[in-house]
Chains A and B, each alone.
Chain A
Amino acid sequence: MSTAAPVIKSESVVAEKGSSLWADAYVRLKKNKLAMLGGIIVILILILCFIVAPILAASGMNANEQDLTNRFARIGEKGILGTDQLGRDLFMRVLEGGQISLLVAILATCMTVTFGVIYGGIAGYVGGKVGNIMMRIVDGLLAMPFLIIVILFREIITGHIDDIAKLLIDDWGWNDNTVLRFANLIPLTIAIAAFGWLTMGRIVRSAAASLSKQEFVEAARSLGLSHSRILFRHIVPNMLGPVIIYATLTIPSFILYEATLSFIGLGIEPPNSSWGKLIQEGANYLETNLTVLAVPAVMFSLTLFAFNFLGDGLRDALDPKASKD
């Protein structure tokens, strides 16, 4: 049995080209200059951190190479943006710190979306008592102080991840440098995602609940499709809008959590650095050289701006009814 809609072969229908939800949304998004600017900045920052930085690193620029004779070099004196308190190239350090910050936030957001969509989708589709209990659990977890439980959870899993890393290096012969760098950021990522999916779960649940009352779901059911197929092939694709909007707004908040925790020393640790870590180091040398603080702080704030404006713009474009705030 085919589930695809029958293809209508009539010329009179083709004559008028309709515009899809996404095409409409793109037209609206293009009108919002701040959101477009945000989108461009996001793309530029991603290119800088994940394409330009590796190329520069491969061509010999090193973010960790110390040069104590050239400490606190000003912009243009050495490197592109000068050097930090140990004579390391600030430009490279900010890009590599950005890699970690963005990697943590994007990975955690992916986990959040996956889990939030599955959990919220099931809660909304099943509904009734089970759905209610599932959402009560979410409410209970949401009432807890977020940063405090993230810090605790990170501390707990750090030890286990370290054990796994050791196993990979000793018994499996993996590259120890790479493994150790990942082992340092994985606990933080998991901890943020473990309690960061709750709002996503709520949003997905309410979308799934209202979608599952609509006729096309009824139709799918009467065709005898399985529940999981209805949920993941028919309901989930229809709520991509709110999921994309919220995911875009989740990334900057996760970047912020990562930076906050790294700033107070409970996040990313050396040899890794992130924007939060760089800002914390820079704040210590504020009076000697402002650029050590200013460069990561500007990159960090700019990224938050860009993601937030893009997210707000996407919301206005995809969901014009909810666009007042």
Chain B
Amino acid sequence: MLKVILSRVIQTIVVVFFLITFVFFAVRAIPGNPFAGEKALAPEEQAALERQYGLDKPVPIQYYNYLKNIFTKGDFGNSSAMKGRQVSTLIAESFPVSLKLGIVSLILGMGIGIPLGIIAALFHNKWQDYTAMVIAMAGICIVAFVLGPIFQLSIARPLSFLNVAGWSRTSDIILPAITLCFGVAAYLARLTRGGMLDVLSQDYIRTARAKGVPTFKIITKHALRPALQPAITYLGPAFAAIITGSFVVENIFLVPGMGQHFVLGITSKDYNLVLGLVLFYGILMGIANLLSDLALIFMDPKLRNA
């Protein structure tokens, strides 16, 4: 257990470090500069801004300073696109929005996807299986930027109590969450079905059947835990990806989450904002992977004793 945690933490540190290094030099390799925005600046203004953000120094020094500020002060720097705002405040404001949306859609996705996968596996190669798998394929192929507008037109329009887009009322979470959950549900259904089929063909399930254990009990008591392993492995990274915001869904429903900051950061070459978001995402990804590792250990006694 301790070994798993330790190796995951080390792995996360290594990956985040490489990610930060890569992104640090990558954003600076994008042609253009952060201050060449709406209106052309006088050379002295430009120089002053560059000095203020420390961009007048050589890139390796900038890199050293960036890492130093993060490790010694936990300082992500200031945003250059939104003048006077700190990257950490921007993340602190937008992350709760993405987190809330992400958790709701993950719960919805699990609630739809896992039962669908179980049904498909139980009725392997029967019409229930085919129906479930075609639904799952639809969830993968009819993607968020097709579903979103359809929901806006077919649900939000007729139901006057729902906003078409925006983030001012509690009910505004409904449409984006439904839109986001379809992809998750589809992948979960396919993975659960695969895992379930694996488990159902094993000897101990046949023994249980031969002893006359009711099917429902076989599923819940014996088959479900090992069958969910592929789904849990997928849920770790999916959780990190979904709670850090979806560019597309936030764009369609005007949700003030983290995804929109990333797109803005790239288009306006806001180095600190992009870096801060990527760093935050990398750490979350590590935590989510660790959680899914621990869940796997918790659910599989063979791993627990290893």
* B residues 172-201 in Cβ contact with A at 8 Å: 190-191, 193-194, 197-198
Interface readout for A267-308 with B: 1 if CB under 8 Å, 0 if not?
A: 000000000100110110011001001000100110011001
Instruction: Tell whether, in the assembled complex, residue A305 and residue B29 are in contact, meaning their CB atoms are under 8 Å apart.
Output: no
Instruction: Tell whether, in the assembled complex, residue A325 and residue B266 are in contact, meaning their CB atoms are under 8 Å apart.
Output: no
Q: Is A324 an interface residue (CB 8 A)?
A: yes
Q: Bound state CA distance, A309 and B26, in angstroms? A: 37
Instruction: Tell whether, in the assembled complex, residue B145 and residue A259 are in contact, meaning their CB atoms are under 8 Å apart.
Output: yes
Chain B min CB distance to A16 (Å): 32
* B residues 122-170 in Cβ contact with A at 8 Å: 134, 137-138, 140-143, 145-146, 148-150, 152-153, 157
Interface size in chain B (residues, C-beta < 8 A):
48
Interface segment, one of B16-24, B62-70, B84-92, B214-222: B16-24
What interface size band does chain A fall in?
35 or more
Instruction: Tell whether, in the assembled complex, residue A308 and residue B140 are in contact, meaning their CB atoms are under 8 Å apart.
Output: yes
Instruction: Tell whether, in the assembled complex, residue A286 and residue B149 are in contact, meaning their CB atoms are under 8 Å apart.
Output: yes
Q: Given that A140-B15, A259-B145, A264-B247 are known contacts, is A151 also in contact with B30, CB under 8 Å in the complex?
A: no
Q: Given that A156-B26, A263-B248 are known contacts, is A325 also in contact with B145, CB under 8 Å in the complex?
A: no
Chain A min CB distance to B144 (Å): 8
Q: Bound state CA distance, A287 and B154, in angstroms? A: 11
Q: Is B305 an interface residue (CB 8 A)?
A: no
Q: Bound state CA distance, A202 and B34, in angstroms? A: 38
Q: Bound state CA distance, A158 and B285, in angstroms? A: 29
Q: Is B107 an interface residue (CB 8 A)?
A: no
Instruction: Tell whether, in the assembled complex, residue A325 and residue B140 are in contact, meaning their CB atoms are under 8 Å apart.
Output: no
Instruction: Tell whether, in the assembled complex, residue A309 and residue B137 are in contact, meaning their CB atoms are under 8 Å apart.
Output: yes
What are the residues of chain B within 8 A of A151 when measuring CB–CB?
266
* A residues 35-61 in Cβ contact with B at 8 Å: none
Q: Is A133 an interface residue (CB 8 A)?
A: no
Q: Which residues of A contact B (CB under 8 A)?
A: 34, 140, 143-145, 147-149, 151-153, 155-156, 158-159, 252, 256, 259-260, 263-266, 276, 279-280, 282-283, 286-287, 290, 293, 297, 300-301, 304-305, 308-309, 324-325
Given contacts A143-B11, A308-B137, 9 further A-B pairs with CB under 8 A are A145-B281, A145-B285, A158-B31, A260-B145, A283-B148, A286-B149, A297-B146, A301-B143, A324-B197
